[in-house]
Amino acid sequence: MLSSPPATGQDQTKDNGISIPKHFIWPKGDLLLSSTKEELREPLVDLEGFFNGDEEATRNAVKFIREACQSHGFFQVINHGVDLSLLNFVHQHLDSFFKLPVSEKLRAKKVPGCLWGYSAAHAERFSSKLPWKETLSFCFHENGTDPVVLDFFNSKLGKDFEQAGMVFQRYGEAMMRLSLAIMELLAISLGVDRMHYRKFFEDGSSILRCNNYPPCMEPNLAVGTGTHCDPTSLTILHQDQVGGLEVFLNNKWHSVRPLQHAFVVNIGDTFMALSNGKYKSCLHRAVVNRYKERKSVAFFLCPKEDKVVRPPPELVSNEEARKYPDFTWSLLLHFVQHFYRADSATMQNFTNWLLSLPPSQLPPPT
């Protein structure tokens, strides 16, 4: 078990009896209401009937998803079609990677300006309010016979990690199938062509991220992942049984209970724009544990970078004006990678930035 902070190279001197480096200490305003007293009552959506073509079961799933997405955008799914043995292999390889010596993990080190690779506390991007975690991120897209995840592991970590690459390649494929199924349910719930979002995302380029949150001696001063809304479209998370994911709702933090064979799903900012603001991207964070490490693996569904993000015509009318201007995923990604640290106001600040750009840099009008 890890007992030290993620290896960032930052100064680790102890000040005033505080036993973590100052770069990991967050301002009090970011740590308010840190005591979680109740669980989020997110729906547990059974997908078996939907996959079997059961119309009544599909209507029930759609009802639960609609209610969640109009409120906070979080729900969990079971009977999701993902092989549980594959899920076990994913966690085994995730554990094996994070147990490697730092020198080995740094073979896959993320470089500034790149999304893919190993990162200790995102220290390559930020110098303060560092998250108490380490991550391994890589791209996933379905491009004919090109196994992009396997290629990443082979090129960055060598042939010893070929099996891990094969497992995560299969996992990316499973996540893509599940994501597109959920997109179909989201379309039904919004009253648009049920294939609309599935077609929009089927050629997308998405992100897989493995997270490790070491034990932290000062859990009331640090956070695993800071308060934010996901800028992506849809997040599918599998977490271990330690717990730590929290959602901010009704001015309180609520914990999301770990369910061993379920996935946590939440709406991101890009899909909020695709729904014309009808569905919500909600603030969430990951807290740390004094005694236990926590691991999770997240799949962030993204459209193809040059796809224009705009809601379907059914969601726009004279009574329901456009909430956000047209944009491409590449523009939003560029904004949060280079100009803005994702938080509760990402979309508003992105919109302001977008409207300041010259017309030549904007997507073509409809």
Dist. CA 268–CA 281, nearest whole Å: 5
Active-site annotation holds for 294:
yes
Q: Return the ∠ at Cα 145 (arms to 141 and 146), rounded to 5°.
A: 55
Say what angle helices 329-338 and 346-355 make with each other, to 10 degrees: 110
From 107, 294, 322, 341, active-site residue: 294
Contact between residue 190 and residue 275 where contact means Cβ atoms under 8 Å apart: yes
Give me the count of residues in the chain: 366
Bridge partners of 117? Answer: 137
Bridge partners of 156? Answer: none
Dist. CA 133–CA 212, nearest whole Å: 5
Contact between residue 229 and residue 346 where contact means Cβ atoms under 8 Å apart: yes
CA dihedral 135, 170, 58, 237 (to 10 degrees): -10
Dist. CA 110–CA 107, nearest whole Å: 9
**Could you count the other beta carbons within 10 Å of the beta carbon of residue 295?**
17
Dist. CA 329–CA 332, nearest whole Å: 5
Question: Burial of 183 by CB count in 10 Å (0-12 exposed, 13-18 middle, 19+ buried)?
Answer: buried
Dist. CA 43–CA 63, nearest whole Å: 10
Q: Any idea which residues carry the catalytic annotation?
A: 294
